[in-house]
Amino acid sequence: DMPVLISYEAVGHDPAVLGTGAHMAWSQGPHACPAIGMAETIASIAISQLIHRIPDLQLGVPAAEIRNRPGPYHHALAAMPARFTPVRARTRSEKPWPSNPYTSTTADDRDAEPPPLPQNWQTWLPAECPVGHSRRPPV
């Protein structure tokens, strides 16, 4: 007798259908996450704000060095080192705190030029980075 380890990550991973980078983080069918759209929107806004507020954000290592965590049960990065110029956050007592400095009504905030942003945050990642794979099969 030989024990067999079944990888639950492999379930639903037919490379001929989904490609080699697909995964089912949100599940499918009647067990699918009911808040997929909300979760994706929250993550997309968070990443967009991060890129807005840290415009010189860059990968800290060559993209080819980024690896997924080892193991049969998950699809996640082991680490994603980043480089950026740190800035001290203003406190509410120092100055009015707009939710978005580029739509603020204070003169010095209105004069700030927003950094150029990609239309989609995933375009910020290098093509060879092992994240951002489609979670849904093509229709």
Residues 48-62, buried b or exposed e (16+ Cβ, 10 A)?
A: eeeeeebeebebeee
Q: What is the mean pLDDT of residues 18-47?
A: 77
Rounded mean pLDDT, 62-71: 87
**Predicted pLDDT of residue 136:** 39
Global pTM value? 0.45
**Is 49 a residue whose pLDDT tops 80?**
yes
Residue 114: the pLDDT is 56
pLDDT band at 7 (very low <50, low <70, confident <90, very high): confident
Chain centre to alpha carbon of residue 34: 20
Tokens 């800290």, residue?
Answer: 60
Q: Which residue has the tokens 């954000």?
A: 57
Output the CA torsion sign for 88, 92, 98, 99.
Answer: positive
61: pLDDT confidence band, cut at 50, 70 and 90? very high
What is residue 12's DSSP assignment?
A: T
Q: Residue 90 — pLDDT band, cuts 50, 70, 90?
A: low
Residue 30, φ and ψ in degrees, nearest 5: -70, -15
